Amino acid sequence: MSARHNRIDALRAPLFVSWQLTRDCDLACLHCCTDSAPGKHLPDEMTAERALRVAADLVAAEVPYVMLCGGEPLRVPHFMAIAEHLGRAGVLLKIETNGQAFDAALAACLAALPIRSVQISLDGDTQEVYARQRPGASLARAHAACRAVRGAGLPLEITFAPTRQNIHQVAAVIDRARELGAFRFNTGQLMHIGRAARLWHKIEPSAADYQAFRTVLRLEAARIDQTLQICYEPFSVQAGLQDNLDTPPATLLVLPNGLVKVAGAVGCVCGDLRRMTLAEVWESYRAAWHNETVIAAIRRGIADDNAHAEANNWTSIPNGVLQTCST
């Protein structure tokens, strides 16, 4: 056990929970770090009853901010029940969606809740490029979803995952984000996790691609116009892990089956919300950042991005002892 002190040691609950509701998705995007796809539920995903108990636990613990994501969270039949349970209790919500099924009716329902933002992926500014990265997807539907978000008065974020297929369109997508009324544009280096890791030799941008990409981002971020924030730091997963190692975040990453990961780019699991209370999971999470096996896994991830390809192979650390988990 490490003798170091972390900021999170003094907190009674997480400040943010990223909750992956499902691995099911209407798309199978080339870059997907969760390896989601149509019909690809985990066999042990939480039931509506269990998920609502977790939502109640988050409310009771006074967690201030929750992101509902996936997979595609809108594929979950009890998505709105969870959102309403959290939102009506005052929990600030972020919804992460590909926008293919997001419409004005849903936007109107969400507008009754405290929404921090709706984040929609725009990985291209032409149908050809967008669909190359997101096979079967419609860019027109994604744009319509963005307009529905803004039409309901909700804050819009745009995210862009750079690959060899789309990186040359980043400036056009940033312009589109401004046109659509987004307040933030999120991007960074492609993550070597999930489906992206398997297709790495086909989709990884070149060093020259990234150099040009970062130049565009710097120029866009320097614009006098402050209506759109350009967010791309930490740029790489390794840099993010180093930041986390220096100052562990007050964040829980909840998987669709209730397991809780220590960090997205490593496979270490510190708890299970099907069998543990949020308080117990939070205590385990804080202890994990003092666990030498966890620290070593994070350091491997910092040193070598190939290690990120194992991030979806989950291992638990009850009482500091690693055990293989079923995925």
Which domains can be identified in the chain, with CATH numbers? 7-324 (3.20.20.70)
Does position 326 have pLDDT exceeding 90, yes or no? no
Instruction: Decide if 196 contacts 234 (C-beta within 8 A).
Output: no
What CA–CA distance (Å, rounded) separates 191 from 99? 21
Question: In sequence order, what DSSP letters do the residues of 293-313 get, joined into one string?
Answer: HHHHHHHHHHH-GGGGGGTTS
Does position 325 have pLDDT exceeding 80, yes or no? no
Beta-bridge mates of residue 284: none
Does position 168 have pLDDT exceeding 60, yes or no? yes
pLDDT score recorded for residue 224: 65
Instruction: Decide if 130 contacts 139 (C-beta within 8 A).
Output: yes
pLDDT score recorded for residue 1: 43
pLDDT digits (tens, 9 = 90+) for 201-248: 999 999 999 999 999 999 999 886 678 999 999 999 999 999 999 999
Does position 322 have pLDDT exceeding 60, yes or no? no
pLDDT score recorded for residue 175: 96
Q: Percentage of the chain with pLDDT > 90?
A: 90
pLDDT digits (tens, 9 = 90+) for 116-162: 999 999 999 999 999 999 999 999 999 999 999 999 999 999 999 99
Beta-bridge mates of residue 117: 94
pLDDT score recorded for residue 30: 97
* CA distances from residue 37 to 72, 254, 286 in whole angstroms, order as listed: 9, 19, 32
Please give the structure tokens belonging to residue 199: 């297709």
Strand, helix or coil for residue 94: strand
Please give the structure tokens belonging to residue 120: 């929609």
pLDDT score recorded for residue 324: 41
Mean pLDDT of 259-270: 94
The model's pTM: 0.94
Looking from the CA of 313 toward its CB, the CA atoms found within 13 Å total 9
Confidence of residue 193 (pLDDT cuts 50, 70, 90): very high
Strand, helix or coil for residue 34: coil
Round the CA-based radius of gyration of the chain to a whole number and report it: 19
Instruction: Decide if 144 contacts 98 (C-beta within 8 A).
Output: no
pLDDT digits (tens, 9 = 90+) for 105-119: 999 999 999 999 999
Mean of all residue pLDDT scores within the chain = 93
pLDDT score recorded for residue 109: 98
pLDDT digits (tens, 9 = 90+) for 34-69: 999 999 999 999 999 999 999 999 999 999 999 999
Does position 74 have pLDDT exceeding 60, yes or no? yes
Report strand pairing: 251-254 vs 259-261: antiparallel
pLDDT score recorded for residue 227: 84
